[in-house]
Amino acid sequence: MEPFINKFIEKMTSKSFYVGEQSSYDAERYSNRQETGSVQMLDPLNRLNGQAASHSDYSLIEQDLNRMSLNIIDSITNGIQGSGEYAGGPTQLTHPLLKSIGTYYFEMKGKRIRPTVLLLLARAITSNDCPSEPISESQLKLAQVVEMLHTASLVHDDVIDGADTRREMASVNCAYSNKLAILCGNFLTARTIVLLSTLRNHHVTELVSNIISDLVDGELMQIKSNSTSFESYIRKTYLKTASLFANGCRSIAVLSGADANMTNMATEFGKNLGLAFQIIDDLLDVTGSSESLGKPASVDMSLGLATAPVLFALEEYPDLEVLINRKFSESGDVDIANQLVLKSNAIEKTKSLAIEYCNKSIEFLMKLPQSQSRDLLITLTQSKVIRFDLIGLKSTISMSLFVKCSVLIIDGIGCRI
């Protein structure tokens, strides 16, 4: 193992590395670029060398997740409990179609990555590793809010992208219609806001409201921008994906009554995880097969979008700029761009970029006191970024039983990597 990682682990296992104390550790400084240009993933728990978490570990949040899923269906079909005396009336008048379309994506459990992260974080912040001791109702609600909001945004996104599949089934717009999908997304968002309001917490309301405007801002930026700058790509990625993780994690910390230091760490963890997660998604779009993704592959370029792999390829093949500027609109553009991505070091560089963000989020997690929940979050963070290995790409990271086990374990609780 590289000396810098040893040094890092040493630091992390010493008690002085806990929350509340300023750490001089700087991930950038220790980033270890190998000859290939790739970056090593931090592995403070030595998980990448074969030590998988066991199924019983994940049972820590299984009940929370299942309760949340039931609550989602209930919130959509019966309205939000505790939302005031007036709620009973209009709720009963809800059109039956809204109930069936609204619950459509939730009937399949989906990956539930966002609530999984939030529920584990809630436990990690309060060092609550006891499954029989539930997390607070407000934190469970927040996880529900975030999952519903995310799903609402996907329903709208599929209309914008003209997608016909989602979660290995027909997308809402395809199964019903664009008009009904727009209404469904609005309905889910409205129910989410009512649920959010029952937290009676202005700070969290502000954070979640920012997620909504960021989602829209990011989507618009994606549609309208033809910038080839990385700055613009990362900004768009923050707005579209990482803001939800960042503000969601921040809200969990606020609801825990955490101090400013802890709240900022939770936010940074979420932000960096979100960025890493989306960059890997963008990579998979180029390299994955529709079978492994549960949705069509290579859609980004077909939609005219230039994400990290193309932007890195552009550094080596400047002629790509013409194709990017015309949004890959001419026949053969997508194929040419795909070939240049594969021919260049773009895939390696994209992985490295994701690992850099992943390392930053692990670094923040390591500032929390040791707990089973925190360690599971580290494992989950690593597995979200290593998922490119699962579809057959050669990785510079040590691929191990860990990843395969993680798939089985998380599959067991309906949260497939």
Collapsed DSSP state (helix, strand, coil) of residue 222: helix
Residue 157 sits in the site that holds ligand FPP (CB under 6 A): yes
Instruction: Give just the sign of the alpha carbon dihedral 268, 272, 273, 274.
Output: positive
Helix H or strand E encompassing 9:
helix 3-13
Longest dimension (CA), the chain: 66
Q: Which stretch binds Mg ion (CB under 5 A): 98-106, 122-130, 156-164, 224-232?
A: 156-164
**Residue 139 or 189 having the CB closest to ligand FPP:** 189
Residues that bind ligand FPP (rule: CB under 6 A) add up to a total of: 17
From the list ligand FPP, Mg ion, none, partner contacted by residue 219 (C-beta under 5 to 8 A by kind): ligand FPP
Contact between 389 and ligand FPP by CB under 6 A: the answer reads no
- Nearest-angstrom CA–CA distance, 103 and 216: 22
CA distance 402 to 376: 12
Number of helices (H), then strands (E), in the chain? 21, 2
Smallest distance, Mg ion to C-beta of residue 331, A: 23
Three-state secondary-structure class, residue 166: strand
Interacting residue with ligand FPP among 240, 349, 351, 384 (CB under 6 A): 240
Window of 49-57, 152-160, 232-240, 362-370 that interacts with Mg ion by CB under 5 A: 152-160
Pick from 131, 156, 368: which is nearest to 249 by CA?
A: 368
Of the CA atoms within 13 Å of residue 195, those in its CB half-sphere come to 30
Answer for which of 52, 80, 122, 152 binds ligand FPP (CB under 6 A) is 152
Residue 169 backbone dihedrals phi, psi, to 5 degrees = -140, 175
Of positions 43, 64, 161, 268, contacts Mg ion by CB under 5 A: 161
* 157 touches Mg ion by CB under 5 A: yes
Q: What's the min distance (Å) between Cβ of 157 and Mg ion?
A: 4
131 vs 296 by CB, closer to ligand FPP: 296
Is the separation of the CB atoms in 323 and 336 below 8 Å? yes
Closest CA to 161 of 332, 299, 278, 326: 299
Site for ligand FPP in 277-316 (CB under 6 A): 295
Q: Between residues 180 and 378, which has the closer beta carbon with respect to ligand FPP? A: 180
Q: Is 185 in the site for ligand FPP (CB under 6 A)?
A: yes
156 touches ligand FPP by CB under 6 A: yes
User: Pairing relation of β-strands 169-170 and 165-166?
Assistant: antiparallel
**Binding of ligand FPP at residue 171 (CB under 6 A)?**
no
In this structure, the dihedral spanned by the alpha carbons of residues 216, 326, 276 and 360, taken in order and rounded to 10 degrees, is: -100
CB of residue 220 to Mg ion, shortest distance in Å: 14
Instruction: State the nearest-atom distance from the C-beta of 200 to ligand FPP, in Å.
Output: 22
Interface with Mg ion (CB under 5 A) = 157, 161
Interface with ligand FPP (CB under 6 A) = 152-154, 156-157, 160-161, 163, 185, 189, 212, 215-216, 219, 240-241, 295
